[in-house]
Chain A
Amino acid sequence: MSFIKTSNVKISGISSCVPKNIVHVSEYHWVKKKLREKIIETTGIIEKRHVDKGTTTSDLCLIAAEKLISELNWDKNEISILIFVSVTPDYISPSTSNILQYKLGLNKDTICIDINQACSGYVYGLSVITKFLSVENKKGLLLVGDTNSYRISYRDKLTYPIFGDAGTATAVEYCENDNANFYFNLKSDGSGYSDIIIKDGGVRNFFSKDSLKYVKYEEGVIRSNIHTSMNGLNVFKFALREVPTSISDILEYAKLSINDIDYFVLHQANSLINKSICRFLNINQDKVPNSLDKFGNTVSASIPLTIVSELRNQVVTDNQKLLIAGFGAGLSWGCALLDTSKIKCPELIEL
C-alpha cells in the first residue's frame, strides 16, 4: 500500500533557517567558465548557502524551531513528538532528535524519532507525524534539514555546484473539527540504492584511512568515499519516470485535478527536472515556485524552504491547497496533498 489518508490534523506553521554564507556557482573555478555557465543554465542554481565549519543541520533546525514555537505561542509541554529528518545527523548515534529534545527544553514525555531519508524526507516525515497526531490530541515538531556541504567534494563537478544547506521546522497539531485531509503516496526502489550514496562510515564499509583517499572517476570528478557520490543521469531518468506518475496517481486517488491545486512545491533538485515534469503534466509554471536560484538543492529541506522563501505571503494570508513532491536517494519518492489555512510562517532566518 502506498496511499495514506490522514484527517483531524493540521499544519500550524513552517519556518526555515539558512546560513548567511553565500556560494556563487559562477565562482566555481574547478570547471571552465563555459561549463559553469551551462550548469547554471541547466540546473537553475545561481547561488547556494553553506554553513561555517562547526554548524550542523540540527543547529539550523533548532533556530527554526525556536522561532516557530515563539510565533505560535506554543507551550513546550504540549509537544509530544519530535521527528528529525536528515542524512546529515550530528552523530551516527544517538539520534539527533534526542539532542534537539534536550536543547529545545521539551519534556521527557516527548517521543523522538530520527528518519534517514534525503530528498523525499519531508514528505515521509510529514506522513509519520500527521498519522501520529491524527489520533492523539497533541502537538508535534517536524524538523527537516541537511548540511550536505560537508559531504561534497569541491573537485566533483557533479555534486559541488548543486547542494546547499538549510534547516526547517514544521509545526503540526491535532485538529478535530478541521475538514482538511492529508493524502500521501509514498514509494521506494532500493535497487537504485547506489545512485546516490556515501559509501564509507557505516558498518558495511567502516571508516578507515582509505575512506579519505581522493579518487578520480572521470574528468572533473574527484572525490573520496566520505563524499556524496551521485549518478546524475540515473537519478534524472528516475525522476522523469516516476514523479509524474506519482503526481497523477495521488490526484486520482484524491479525486482532484491539476487545476484544483494552488501550488505544486517540487523538491528542488534542478530546474531541468522540474520544468520537464511540469511540461509533461501540463502544469502552469506560475504554480510551481522555484528557490533553486537562491539555495540550490537543499536535500530534505527544499520543500519547506521553498514554501517559506517563495510562498510566504500566500500561506500566511490565505488558505492553500498544495501538492508537494520529494524524490531522491534510496531511491525514494513521495507526494502529498495538503491544505494550509493561514499558517504562521516567520520570515526566512539567516544564521
Chain B
Amino acid sequence: MDVYLFIEKFENEFNDLPKGLLKPDTKIMDMKEWWDSLNVMIAIAFAKIEFGANIEKNDIFEANTINDLFNNILKKANTK
C-alpha cells in the first residue's frame, strides 16, 4: 500500500472527514480540533484492521504529517 491508497482508506473510516482533504504533506496538528478522542480511537482501529498494527496515541501526534503517520503505522505493522 502506498501513501495515496492509505489516505483514501483512512478518509473512508471517518464520516466527518471530507474526501480528498488529506495530502501526504498535510500537517497532523493543522487538524488539532478534529482529533477528538473518538477520532483517535477510529484511527487506532484503522491501523489494527488494515496493518495489524497496535499503535499508540503518540504514534499519531508525534507524526508531523500524514506521510509520517503512514510510516509510523508501517513500522508497527503485524505486531502482536
Chain A residues in contact with chain B, CB under 8 A? 38-39, 41-42, 232-233, 236-237, 240-241, 245, 272-273, 276, 279-280
B48 CB–A CB distance under 8 Å? yes
Supplied contacts A273-B45, A280-B49, 18 more A-B pairs, CB within 8 Å: A38-B16, A38-B36, A38-B38, A41-B15, A42-B41, A233-B37, A233-B41, A233-B57, A236-B41, A236-B44, A237-B44, A240-B45, A241-B54, A241-B80, A272-B42, A279-B49, A280-B48, A280-B52
Distance of A237 Cα from B57 Cα, bound (Å) = 10
Q: Residue A233 contacts which of B15, B40, B52, B80 (CB distance < 8 angstroms)?
A: B40
Total B residues in contact with A, Cβ cutoff 8 Å: 17
Distance of A233 Cα from B44 Cα, bound (Å) = 9
Contacts of A237 in B (CB 8 A): 44, 54, 56
Contacts of B54 in A (CB 8 A): 237, 240-241
Contacts of A232 in B (CB 8 A): 37, 41
A42 lies within 8 A of B49 (CB): no
Select the residue from B40, B42, B45, B54 with max chain A CB neighbours within 10 A. B45
Chain B residues in contact with chain A, CB under 8 A? 15-16, 36-38, 40-42, 44-45, 48-49, 52, 54, 56-57, 80
Chain A interface helix/strand/loop/mixed: helix
Chain B interface helix/strand/loop/mixed: helix
Closest Cβ of chain A: how far from B44's Cβ, in Å?
6
Closest Cβ of chain B: how far from A316's Cβ, in Å?
34
Q: Residue B48 contacts which of A41, A233, A276 (CB distance < 8 angstroms)?
A: A276
Closest Cβ of chain B: how far from A288's Cβ, in Å?
15
Closest Cβ of chain B: how far from A328's Cβ, in Å?
16
Distance of A233 Cα from B55 Cα, bound (Å) = 11
Select the residue from B36, B49, B54, B80 with max chain A CB neighbours within 10 A. B49
| A245 and chain B: residue at smallest CB distance | B80
Contacts of A41 in B (CB 8 A): 15
Closest Cβ of chain B: how far from A189's Cβ, in Å?
14
Contacts of B56 in A (CB 8 A): 237
Distance of A236 Cα from B15 Cα, bound (Å) = 20
| A281 and chain B: residue at smallest CB distance | B49
A272 lies within 8 A of B45 (CB): yes
Distance of A280 Cα from B53 Cα, bound (Å) = 11
Contacts of A38 in B (CB 8 A): 16, 36, 38
Given A42-B41, A232-B37, the answer on whether A240 and B80 have CB atoms closer than 8 Å is no
B38 lies within 8 A of A240 (CB): no
Distance of A279 Cα from B37 Cα, bound (Å) = 21
A-B contact pairs, 16 of them (CB 8 A): A38-B16, A38-B36, A41-B15, A42-B38, A42-B42, A233-B37, A233-B57, A236-B44, A237-B54, A237-B56, A240-B48, A240-B54, A272-B41, A276-B48, A279-B49, A280-B48
